[in-house]
């Protein structure tokens, strides 16, 4: 029996080792493929720009490569165009290199100093040096996500810093291509970290910066994706089928604790619209939904709720609870004034429902309270402490 127990433990370790090796091998193959596509794109870009061939030569290249390597994929004319565009997309100026050095991207910048030392007024530096720096970025960042994701980014995003943001988020959250496209379409880069908050004077650094980056403005709840011939039943089905999009829009780390979460204070009953626990921030997050424009008194009430959560639910190891007010509209100056002397960390953001419905169906839509109930009744993370 002892031998059986030892064997079970040992074979479990072996399986973990094999699985880990498979993952690492898969990552290595993907990295090699991305670097190969970048180098192939460079060869195509250089040759086409230095000759009179034009892009039509790609049809010949595609045919020849397919004949030579029939077992390999990726040599279609369309994909060859992507490789060329891929190489040309990641070209860096000294200014961009300087901005990347100040960013949080962990990449090999051994060529950055040399690039920045070039006399900017002459704008002359070695193309080889630029290519070496670009290859360092490709190897250390870009090659960590699949090729299909890369093609989406280079065709939909113009700014390299924004592209690197989506690459980093794809790797961090393991986004599918559909999810990546959705996040780009909703302008996540522009919405991330721009909510009106009082975090700078209610939370210690660097926790305040991390919390700020967790919030968005606006939040986009566009899960009502209906055809022209929809009926009322379709609305109900869409609400149920797109529950996870709500959690996706909130962002990574939100674990659902409860809806209309009950607190008893001074023998009176109070109910929080939505209560979450954020795994990364290690704190409770109270979300209040208001289907109106922001009003200063909303901040006071949420401040009261946060005091109650910190007193009743917060454990010693938890960070201060955070409040998020989601309103249909807000005046930024008014929101800033309302939060100025609030002593609990609160953020104010708008939310959008982009689907416009005919007036005869407006009455069929759920109220904000019914929407909360429909969205959150799947019991997501009900195992957290109550």
| Domain shared by 275 and 154, yes or no | no
| Domain shared by 184 and 321, yes or no | no
**Does a structural domain hold residue 183?**
yes
Number of H helices, E strands in the chain: 18, 7
pLDDT above 80 for 265: yes
pLDDT of residue 337: 93
Site of tokens 């990364």: 280
Q: Tally Cβ neighbours within 10 Å of residue 96.
A: 15
Backbone angles phi, psi at 255, to 5 degrees: -110, 125
| Domain shared by 14 and 49, yes or no | yes
Which stretch of 114-118, 217-221, 313-317 has the lowest confidence by average pLDDT? 114-118
pLDDT of residue 269: 95
Final residue of a domain: which of 147, 170, 188? 188
**Does a structural domain hold residue 261?**
yes
> Which segment, 131-140, 192-201, 231-240, 244-253, is predicted with the most confidence on average?
192-201
How far is 204 from 200, CA to CA, in rounded Å? 7
Range of the domain at 328: 196-376
Which stretch of 23-37, 160-174, 267-281 has the lowest confidence by average pLDDT? 23-37
**Does a structural domain hold residue 381?**
no
Question: Which of 42, 192, 66 is CA-nearest to residue 131?
Answer: 42
pLDDT above 80 for 4: no
Residue bearing the bigger pLDDT, 221 or 365: 221
How far is 34 from 252, CA to CA, in rounded Å? 27
Backbone angles phi, psi at 366, to 5 degrees: -70, 155
How far is 336 from 155, CA to CA, in rounded Å? 37
pLDDT of residue 301: 94
Final residue of a domain: which of 163, 188, 213? 188
| Domain shared by 178 and 238, yes or no | no
pLDDT of residue 34: 87
Q: How far is CA 259 from the centre of its chain?
A: 25
pLDDT digits (tens, 9 = 90+) for 190-215: 888 878 898 888 888 888 888 888 88
Site of tokens 């780390």: 253
| Domain shared by 167 and 307, yes or no | no
**Does a structural domain hold residue 338?**
yes
Q: Tally Cβ neighbours within 10 Å of residue 340.
A: 10
Q: What is the mean pLDDT of the chain?
A: 76
| Domain shared by 169 and 247, yes or no | no
| Domain shared by 254 and 122, yes or no | no
Q: Supply the DSSP string of 96-131, one letter for each residue.
A: HHHHHHTSS-----TTHHHHHTS-TTTT---HHHHH
pLDDT band for position 137 (cuts 50, 70, 90): confident
pLDDT digits (tens, 9 = 90+) for 338-386: 999 899 999 999 877 655 444 444 444 445 555 455 555 544 444 454 4
| Domain shared by 207 and 332, yes or no | yes
CA angle, residues 237, 240, 246, in degrees to nearest 5: 130
Three-state DSSP at 372 gives helix
pLDDT digits (tens, 9 = 90+) for 285-312: 998 888 789 999 999 999 999 999 999 9
| Domain shared by 159 and 16, yes or no | yes
| Domain shared by 150 and 271, yes or no | no
**Does a structural domain hold residue 158?**
yes
How far is 70 from 212, CA to CA, in rounded Å? 51
Question: Which of 291, 303, 314, 305 is CA-nearest to residue 362?
Answer: 291
**Averaged over 48-62, what is the pLDDT?**
77
| Domain shared by 120 and 167, yes or no | yes
**Does a structural domain hold residue 14?**
yes
Three-state DSSP at 201 gives helix
Q: Tally Cβ neighbours within 10 Å of residue 66.
A: 14
Final residue of a domain: which of 188, 205, 229? 188
pLDDT band for position 156 (cuts 50, 70, 90): very high
Domain count, the chain: 2
**Averaged over 63-88, what is the pLDDT?**
86
Q: Can you give the CATH number for the domain in which 230 is found?
A: 3.40.1350.10
**Does a structural domain hold residue 208?**
yes
pLDDT above 60 for 242: no
| Domain shared by 209 and 351, yes or no | yes
Residue bearing the bigger pLDDT, 115 or 86: 86
**Does a structural domain hold residue 72?**
yes
Tell me the β-bridge partners of 352: 220
């Amino acid at each position: 029996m002892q031998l059986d127990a030892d064997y079970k433990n040992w074979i479990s370790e072996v399986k973990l080792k094999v699985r880990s090796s498979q993952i690492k091998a898969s990552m290595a193959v993907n990295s090699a493929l991305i670097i190969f596509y970048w180098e192939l794109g460079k060869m195509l870009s250089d040759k086409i720009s230095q000759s009179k061939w034009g892009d039509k030569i790609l049809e010949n290249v595609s045919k020849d490569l397919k004949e030579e390597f029939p077992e390999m994929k990726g040599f279609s004319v369309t994909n060859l165009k992507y490789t060329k565009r891929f190489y040309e997309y990641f070209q860096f100026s000294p200014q961009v290199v300087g901005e990347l050095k100040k960013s949080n991207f962990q990449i090999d910048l051994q060529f950055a100093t040399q690039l920045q030392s070039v006399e900017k007024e002459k704008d002359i530096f070695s193309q080889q040096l630029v290519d070496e720096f670009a290859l360092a970025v490709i190897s250390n960042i870009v090659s960590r996500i699949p090729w299909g994701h890369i093609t989406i980014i280079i065709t939909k995003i113009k700014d390299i810093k924004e592209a690197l943001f989506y690459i980093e988020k794809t790797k961090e959250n393991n986004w599918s291509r559909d999810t990546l496209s959705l996040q780009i379409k909703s302008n996540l880069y522009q919405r991330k970290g721009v909510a009106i908050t009082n975090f700078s004077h209610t939370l210690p650094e660097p926790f305040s910066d991390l919390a700020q980056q967790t919030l968005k403005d606006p939040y986009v709840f566009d899960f009502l994706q209906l055809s022209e011939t929809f009926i009322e039943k379709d609305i109900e089905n869409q609400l149920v089928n797109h529950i996870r999009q709500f959690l996706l829009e909130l962002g990574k780390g939100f674990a659902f604790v409860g809806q209309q979460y009950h607190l008893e204070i001074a023998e009176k009953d109070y109910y929080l619209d939505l209560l979450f626990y954020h795994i990364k921030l290690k704190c409770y997050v109270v979300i209040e939904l208001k289907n109106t424009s922001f009003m200063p008194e909303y901040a006071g009430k949420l401040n009261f709720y946060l005091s109650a959560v910190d007193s009743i639910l917060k454990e010693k190891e938890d960070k201060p609870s955070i409040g998020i007010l989601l309103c249909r509209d807000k005046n930024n100056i008014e929101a800033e004034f309302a939060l100025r002397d609030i002593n609990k960390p609160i953020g104010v953001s708008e939310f959008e429902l982009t689907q416009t419905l005919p007036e005869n169906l407006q009455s069929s839509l759920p109220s904000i309270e019914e929407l909360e109930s429909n969205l959150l009744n799947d019991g997501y993370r009900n195992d957290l402490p109550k």
